[in-house]
Amino acid sequence: MENKNTYWKGLEELNNDPKFLQAKRNEFAEGIPLEEVLTEQDGELTSNRRDFLKYFGFSVSAVALAACNKAPVKNVIPYIVKPENITPGIPNWYATTNPETGASILVKTREGRPIKIEGNPESPIFKGGASAVEHASLLGLYDNERLKAPQAEGNEVDWNTLDGKIKTGLASAKNIRLISGTVNSPSVKKAIAAFTAKYPNTKHITYEAVSNSAMIDANTQSFGKAVVPGYRFDKAKVIVSFGADFLGTWISPVEFTKQWVINRKVGTAGDGKTEMSRHIQFESNLSLTGSNADMRFPIKPSAEGVILISLYNKLAAMAGSPTLSGAQNIELALNSVENTAKELWAAKGASLVVSGSNNLDNQLLVNAINSLLGNIGTTVDLDNYSNQKYSNDTAFEAFVSDMNNGGVDAVIFMNSNPAYSYYNAKRFEDGLKKVALTVSTSSSVDETSAMCKLYAPDNHYLESWGDAEPKVGYYALIQPTISPVFNTRQAPESLLRWADNSTDYYTFVKGNWSAMGVNETAWNKSLHDGFMYAGEKSAQSYSNSVLPTAAVNAAYQAYTSSKDKIEISLYSKVGLGDGRNANNPWLQELPDPISKVCWDNYAAIGKVTADQLGVKDGDVISITTKGYTIESIPVLVQPGQANNTVSIAVGYGRTHGGKVAKYVGKNAYGLASFNKTVGYNTADAKVAKASGDYELAQTQTHHTIEGRNIIKEASLKEFIKDPKAGNHDHAHIISLWDERDSKGHRWAMAIDMNACTGCGSCVVSCSAENNVPVVGRKEVLNSREMHWIRIDRYYSFKDKNGKSITREAGLAGNMLKGKDETLIDENTNFENVKVAFQPMMCQHCGHAPCETVCPVLATVHSSEGLNHMAYNRCVGTRYCANNCPYKVRRFNWFKYRENDKFDFYMNNDLGRMVINPDVTVRSRGVMEKCSFCIQRVQSGKLQAKVEGRNLKDGDVKTACQQSCPSNAIIFGDINDKSSEIAKLFKNERSYVLLEEYNVQPSVSYMTQIRNVEEAVAGDHAEHGAEHKEEKHEEKAHEHAAHS
Amino acid sequence: MRLLKFTSLFLLLSFSTRFASADVSEGEKLFTANCTSCHAITEKVVGPALKDVHKRRDAAWLTKWIRNSQALVKSGDATAVALYKENNESVMTSFENLSDGQVASIVEYIKAESEKPTAAANASVGGDATGATSSAGAQDGFYNSTTFWGLSIIAIILFVIVFILFSIRKVVDQLYAQKFPEAAAEESVQRISWKERPTSVRYKLFKKHPVVGIIVVILAFTVVGGLVGFDYGNKEVGVQKGYAPVQPINYSHELHAGKYKINCLYCHSGADKSKQATIPSPSTCMNCHAHVTASKNYDGKVSPEIQKIYNAVGWDADKKAYDPAKTQTPIKWVRIHNLPDLAYFNHSQHVKVGKVECQACHGPIETMKVVSQQTSLQMGWCINCHREAKVDMANNDYYQKLHEDLKAQGKSYATVANVGGLECGKCHY
């Protein structure tokens, strides 16, 4: 077999960690939790073994009693006046915008309650993609810890009283500060202007927890435009990113993923394309973007400056421009800087260099490089700029000083939480105590509002009117999909009230739009579409005369002074981001795309550095900087992490903000520092092993597949030569079963591994669609997570000579050397790993192994190729899970709703409003799994039948497919020969997992193609097919002889 | 009466040739779909009773009026103006989409109805209804009364026979004792109670090992009780057949659906497009009941039941207007048909796609003063129908491919079960 066993789920597997081995043997890691079950607070029953007979006796008589009982009386209460467009049982869709990310979304409501968020496919920018954050934002609406009414000094008051207090306070204030996050809404800007007009001594300061300030400053200096550019990853043939996680968290990840993936799809899946963009990543922690790059070079954060300088000088030499004087040439292993420069130069005008650093010098260098390459106006678009993630670090710094000097007497925090995310929280809090009037519009009590006196709680955005302009000229509307659940008021409306403007916010927004020249018809159209966009302006080139010569010295100083030190770098995770959504259980339970850890942050350390520090997985360390200490943060030995670096995610360690958010992980913001802008890395930290241990809830080693060959890949070169490269080894198939014939539909799914970035959007989308419960950290540790779709992440390790570590070669070699059963030795290169993502859900096998072992026929096959699961037939033997080769079945160990032990959203009435009424809420003791969104299949078919027409391709989309920002999942009817799935299900790159079992899965995967020089598929790719077939024949003969 | 019949037959014969294009059955369809919410043949509903309207007005006038009554009123047509005033100036909905032929069909239907003797009309409704019941009832055959009574009689007869046999044996014993007194006395001495006989099973069980005995008895009871309970549970628990709760408004389907023949979909408007059939909102009731007060039955006052609708929507019956001062209070109907959450049922699939009559599941609803659940709503009941019901493939393009396959196989029909209607995941997900 080709590239056999080169993929590993983690270091534990590579290292044959005893715990992993035990987990592997104990495939399900699921002893029967008898003690827990019997002492469980399920209803009011607390029982033990002794009570068993008592209850048995009771239950006999209870049956008799129950038989006499009539079912409870249920009421049906119709509308008094039925709204014309609402029919109970039929969902209504509304187009709106998520103000946090700016993404255009569609909201599905049933009987007046929003139950699902999806991307808006008509949006030319977001193109129907939605990130995990957008999907999960729905749950924020049903958070019953939101503030239910305005409050003054801890007492609930009415709005008039509150407004009175605030107005009195403002009237006498000499220095008012309004702190908000990025404001890209034209109407909010006007509301702020109205407020400032009324109170002229107001200063509006934008503050973002994870700041982009340096980029805006750099663009001001270089091009005279204080903007975040509109990047065009779709126009770039060579992409070089310095720590910018543009597929995961940077600026506008959904938009960028949609762009990026255009040049990553090849072959049949990419309309026959045989070209791919080349993606090179320099970074210290293994980010989502880095894991998807073709080439990835681990660097220390302090080295970014010098590498940028070296890169600039190499390019300048090629261009014949003046180089930066006084610079030494820094080169990384494998001549990567030199090679990168050559590749960039070859793709002049169609290349793109980005940096996620919040360092002005680095951003100036990036601008200089892009100018040199002629990318301004092509891939760096300063005319169609982005309005997202604007903040001003210096202004905020001045505000904190002013507060401490007593120079501020009124401050309004508009959905801004610096007490949590400011690097020097103590200084901020001390300052805030000196302010007379403190108002917060946060919708729940967060760290900042806990210190404020007056609360004017904001609506959730699904209850609000509003607009946004995430990209210049792209006007998006926000419309309510439900009336406000609590007595809350929109923050901009509050500003208007305090400015003595009594217009309601809807009228205000509409008024603004008509002032922009939008007539009634256009308004209605925008409301229907969710946005108004005249299209892109033509991008101009801007000259850049700024050469950051001063950067040279500073960069070298940073580089040399921290050369031997361990550096700390902060990053944000795909799920929790900057921490504002920490109270969202869907996001907490979403495993990190790379580490697969949920419900925690941790210190990611490379293997070499961990050995130096004498720590391993499960240990805890303490990190001390000048003003801040993180005590006992758990260690995660992370492949791909640059040596001598420690990366920690921000967004955790909340002390307020709700029961889900509180005390999950550690707050890392304190490790940041300020020098012109906020810096998110530091070399001045002391890292030491602390006492104690801590186990992280990590899902990756669950459901292990024993190193079987399930990832297939090839390099682009190999693929062009032979489209079947890497996909020649097909198993010889013998079947014991009759082939199924399907006349009607036959549902199937194709997954393009080249497109899948592993972002996890599908996981949250699936949870929302299928009422998948959240189980919490403790249960994830017990391998009892319930997600129907998981994204398996595999690492491939190489040794220092660039040879893959395979089970055979590595193990044999080490055993010859007399070492233990470990594949890890001093030769292994842990800094640079290859990553593959594989979404995994029920494969709906044609000859499903689970079906044959179910003693009660609870899981059976349908004529449409689906593997049905009848929950109420299931008696919970779990035989099916034991017999499933893909480990996709999930057992309900507990009743997750109305259970205080699982106090997430399903434990309160408001939270349960998010439940999809078309999908059964499963109870304890039954097995469940992906159904291919059968409720969507059925409703798509019904729609066609009601309209009396054929089912069209695309009528049925599964939740994971709909949400995928990279269009990696395609679903449809393969019996419909014209459908996309019929083309993709069987093409040169398609393969099914564990084909040798001949279970005939309905999910096919497509070989991952990497744009790299070296051969990936293996030596015998070309003749593989013949060889294999010969072998099989031999084997078949053998079988015949034996029998 | 006989005279009426005679005349109607005569009229039927004399008019039947006059509108060749008009079609009574099409007219009936159009009438039920468009007119029944405001009109009936023999009674005034919102609009006047339509009996013999073809005699009162000429066809051209009727067409104009139906198409757009207001235009006719405005044009100053005397009949139209008078009619408008007579009916409290309530505006009749315009049906400009109806073609001449369709209007003629409606008139033809009204004519046919007018000429029908009233009793016959009612009987036909009753007839339909029984048909529906018997088809639904057939599946519950065991419980139909004939079988029940038959079995009961057999049981009684068996009891009587047993009794007679015991009596005979007693008499024989007595005769034996009389004839051979010594032998009988000897035998009675030998007949020792089981309590003193260690070989008897009962002695072993209850005297020697009383615990075992008690366990055996309990087990026996459990097994028997379990079987009885299982059977009972299977047939009765959670089955609410016959459930007829008292509703907040004493609404009669017999009156609305039976007598006035208002189309079911007029009120249950979701039935052909949604999962839910939907209970109409009181504003739908007000479409008619803004005018219909049934006051002639209540000494000129509004019927107390109709008043409940007015209370719900805040309507002032005297001013004939909504009173904004009144609070609107929703009506809490009691849900009769309750499927468990684990079963997915969609009305539109059955009503629109399957073209199943409402009565097939809900029974003869047009005869019910109080609605009750007519069927068990158990899975077996669903499945039976899915096994028998044929899919109408010819008239729905969705089934095009399957239909071709079917024809290629030489089969004339496919049941719901044949197209996967028995698969678990079709209803349980």
Average pLDDT over every residue of A240-267 = 94
Higher pLDDT, A183 or B143: A183
A479 has a pLDDT exceeding 70:
yes
Average pLDDT, rounded, for chain B? 81
Identity of the residue in B349, B405, B428 whose CB atom sits nearest the CB atom of A870:
B428
Q: State whether residue B137 sits within 8 Å of chain A by CB.
A: no
- Please give the residue of chain B at the shortest CA–CA distance from A89: B275
Nearest-angstrom CA–CA distance, B279 and A76? 7
CB proximity under 8 Å: A 727-756 to B: 743-744
The whole-number pLDDT of residue B152 equals: 87
**Structural element, H or E, at residue A808:** helix A807-816
Nearest-angstrom CA–CA distance, A824 and A805? 9
A808 has a pLDDT exceeding 90:
no
Q: How many residues can be counted in chain B? A: 429
Q: State whether residue B234 sits within 8 Å of chain A by CB.
A: no
**Beta carbons of B237 and A87 less than 8 Å apart:** no
Best mean pLDDT range from A409-413, A1035-1039, B124-128, B319-323: A409-413
Q: State whether residue B402 sits within 8 Å of chain A by CB.
A: yes
Q: State whether residue B246 sits within 8 Å of chain A by CB.
A: no
The whole-number pLDDT of residue B263 equals: 92
Distance (Å) from the C-alpha of residue B96 to the closest C-alpha of chain A? 22
> What are the residues facing A828 on neighbouring strands?
A799
Average pLDDT, rounded, for chain A? 87
CA dihedral A577, A581, A582, A583 (to 10 degrees): -170
> Residue A776, Cα to own-chain centre: how many angstroms?
18
**Nearest of A417, A358, A363, A426 to residue A392 by alpha carbon:** A358
Token pair of A245 as six digits: 């996680």
- Chain B interface, mutation test: which of A61, A82, A772, most B Cβ atoms within 10 Å? A82
- Please give the residue of chain B at the shortest CA–CA distance from A938: B426
The whole-number pLDDT of residue A1029 equals: 42
| DSSP-derived 3-state class of residue A938 | helix
Average pLDDT over every residue of B384-389 = 93
User: So what's the ipTM on this one?
Assistant: 0.84
A58 has a pLDDT exceeding 60:
no
Question: In sequence order, what are the residues at sequence separation of 6 or more whose Cβ sits closer than 8 angstroms to the Cβ of residue B5?
Answer: B117
Q: Are strands A238-242 and A351-355 parallel, antiparallel or unpaired?
A: parallel
Q: What is the DSSP string of B38-84?
A: T--SSS-SSSPP-TTHHHHS-HHHHHHHHH-HHHHHHTT-HHHHHHH
B391-407: buried (b, 16+ CB within 10 Å) or exposed (e) per residue?
bebeebebbebbbeebe
Chain B residues within an 8 Å CB radius of A934: 425, 429
Give B229-278 pLDDT, tens digit per residue.
777 766 666 778 888 999 999 999 999 999 989 999 999 999 999 999 99
Higher pLDDT, B181 or A166: A166
Nearest-angstrom CA–CA distance, A13 and A371? 46
What confidence tier does A733 reach under pLDDT thresholds 50, 70, 90? Answer: confident
Distance (Å) from the C-alpha of residue A849 to the closest C-alpha of chain B? 18
Where residue A389 falls (left for φ over 0; alpha for ψ -120 to 50; beta otherwise) is left
B131 has a pLDDT exceeding 60:
no
Q: Please tell me the pTM assigned to this model.
A: 0.83
- Chain B interface, mutation test: which of A842, A860, A935, A938, most B Cβ atoms within 10 Å? A938
CB proximity under 8 Å: A 906-925 to B: 918-921
Give A880-903 pLDDT, tens digit per residue.
999 999 989 999 999 999 888 899
Token pair of B324 as six digits: 């904004």
Average pLDDT over every residue of B199-219 = 82
What confidence tier does B364 reach under pLDDT thresholds 50, 70, 90? Answer: very high
Least confident of A170-179, A712-721, B108-117: B108-117
> What are the residues facing A298 on neighbouring strands?
A283
Token pair of B104 as six digits: 């003629």
Chain A residues within an 8 Å CB radius of B270: 87-90
What confidence tier does A795 reach under pLDDT thresholds 50, 70, 90? Answer: confident
Q: What is the DSSP string of A225-238?
A: --SEEEE-TTS-SE
Burial of B428 (0-12, 13-18, 19+ CB in 10 A): buried
**Nearest of A930, A925, A873 to residue A894 by alpha carbon:** A925
Question: In sequence order, what are the residues at sequence separation of 6 or more whose Cβ sits closer than 8 angstroms to the Cβ of residue B353?
Answer: A942, A945, A946, B396
B234-268: buried (b, 16+ CB within 10 Å) or exposed (e) per residue?
eeeebbbbebebeeebebebbebbbbbbbbbbbbb
Least confident of A197-201, B63-67, B370-374: B63-67
A292 has a pLDDT exceeding 60:
yes
Give B54-104 pLDDT, tens digit per residue.
888 888 888 888 888 888 888 888 888 888 887 777 778 778 778 888 888
Higher pLDDT, B256 or B134: B256
Nearest-angstrom CA–CA distance, A172 and A195? 15
Nearest-angstrom CA–CA distance, B187 and A175? 120
Burial of A279 (0-12, 13-18, 19+ CB in 10 A): buried
**Beta carbons of B245 and A934 less than 8 Å apart:** no
Nearest-5° Cα angle at A186, A183 to A188:
60
Burial of B7 (0-12, 13-18, 19+ CB in 10 A): exposed
What confidence tier does B146 reach under pLDDT thresholds 50, 70, 90? Answer: confident
Chain B residues within an 8 Å CB radius of A76: 279, 332-335
**Beta carbons of B425 and A946 less than 8 Å apart:** no
Distance (Å) from the C-alpha of residue A733 to the closest C-alpha of chain B? 29
Place of tokens 């992906």: A930
- Please give the residue of chain A at the shortest CA–CA distance from B344: A918
Average pLDDT over every residue of A312-332 = 86
> Residue A991, Cα to own-chain centre: how many angstroms?
27
Chain B residues within an 8 Å CB radius of A918: 275, 344, 429
**Beta carbons of A82 and B398 less than 8 Å apart:** no
Q: What is the DSSP string of A888-924?
A: --EE--S--SS-GGG-SGGGSTTGGGGS-TTSPPP-T
- Please give the residue of chain A at the shortest CA–CA distance from B223: A60
The whole-number pLDDT of residue B140 equals: 44
Identity of the residue in A60, A64, A74 whose CB atom sits nearest the CB atom of B338:
A74
Count of C-beta atoms within a 10 Å radius of residue B2:
6
Nearest-5° Cα angle at A997, A995 to A1002:
55
Nearest-angstrom CA–CA distance, B50 and A474? 60
Token pair of A592 as six digits: 């990190």
What confidence tier does A44 reach under pLDDT thresholds 50, 70, 90? Answer: very low
Higher pLDDT, B334 or A49: B334
Radius of gyration for the alpha carbons in chain A, expressed in angstroms and rounded: 29
What confidence tier does A26 reach under pLDDT thresholds 50, 70, 90? Answer: low
> What are the residues facing A476 on neighbouring strands?
A468, A531
Average pLDDT over every residue of A423-434 = 93
The whole-number pLDDT of residue B36 equals: 77
Where are the extended beta strands (E) located within A768-918? Answer: 790-799, 828-840, 859-861, 867-869, 890-891
A820 has a pLDDT exceeding 70:
no
**Beta carbons of B423 and A862 less than 8 Å apart:** yes
What percent of chain B shows pLDDT beyond 70? 85
Nearest-angstrom CA–CA distance, A479 and A96? 6
A60 has a pLDDT exceeding 80:
no
Nearest-angstrom CA–CA distance, A258 and A67? 58
The whole-number pLDDT of residue B8 equals: 45
Nearest-angstrom CA–CA distance, B45 and A725? 78
Distance (Å) from the C-alpha of residue B400 to the closest C-alpha of chain A? 7
Give A546-569 pLDDT, tens digit per residue.
888 888 888 898 888 888 899 999
Chain B residues within an 8 Å CB radius of A869: 424-425, 429
Contact A198/A499 with Cβ under 8 angstroms? Answer: yes
Give A149-184 pLDDT, tens digit per residue.
999 998 999 999 999 999 999 999 999 999 999 999
Contact B423/A859 with Cβ under 8 angstroms? Answer: no
Average pLDDT over every residue of A524-540 = 91
